[in-house]
Amino acid sequence: VGYTDADPIRKSSYPTNYHLGFERAFAVRGYLDRKGVVGAHMGLMSFGPDRPEASKEKSRRVEVIVTSKTANSDAAAMKTEAPRNAPTAAGKVDATKATANRASTASTTKSNTASKTASTTSSSRKATVAPVTAGK
């Protein structure tokens, strides 16, 4: 994946930052191909200036993302280390009971509100209806 900074392109060889980012990714693909990585197994992308880093130097980069078709190809390489300063996990909550209680409370409140609204509306209607009198 090729990236660039947000500065406008000054050279005519690259019309946009997206083109420059793609050319960076293409150059890295060529390097990996010369080192024995099959090019048909690689894809190229350019985000250009869309995902900048903190500085211009860090924004001018290429990221190589390595994936595997099999989950057990190399267990040592796939193993991830837990963060050393991660907070402890919160206790588990029985979501089913909590959700059921909230849904029950919400439907009762909604029902009560609807009843009050209906009675208010019907009494308002009665007050605004004028009596009908026989005409001449």
Task: For 11-52, write each residue's pLDDT tens digit.
Answer: 668 777 777 777 888 888 888 888 888 777 777 777 767 666
pLDDT confidence of residue 3: 67
Tens digit of each residue's pLDDT (9 = 90 or more) over 56-110: 676 677 777 777 776 555 555 555 565 565 556 555 554 445 555 555 555 555 5
Look at the block and give the residue holding tokens 């947000």.
Answer: 6
Which tokens sit at 112? 């009560």
SS3 45: coil
DSSP of 72-114, one letter per residue? TS-HHHH--PPPTTPPPPPPP--HHHHHHHHHHHHHHHHHHHH
- 114 CB-side CA count, 13 A: 6
Which H or E element spans position 122?
helix 95-128
Cβ partners under 8 Å of residue 44, min gap 6: 2, 22, 25, 26, 29
* pLDDT of 119 higher than 50: no
- The torsion region of residue 93 among left (phi > 0), alpha (psi -120 to 50) and beta comes to beta
Output the pTM of the full model. Answer: 0.42
Q: How far apart are CA 123 and CA 104, in angstroms?
A: 29
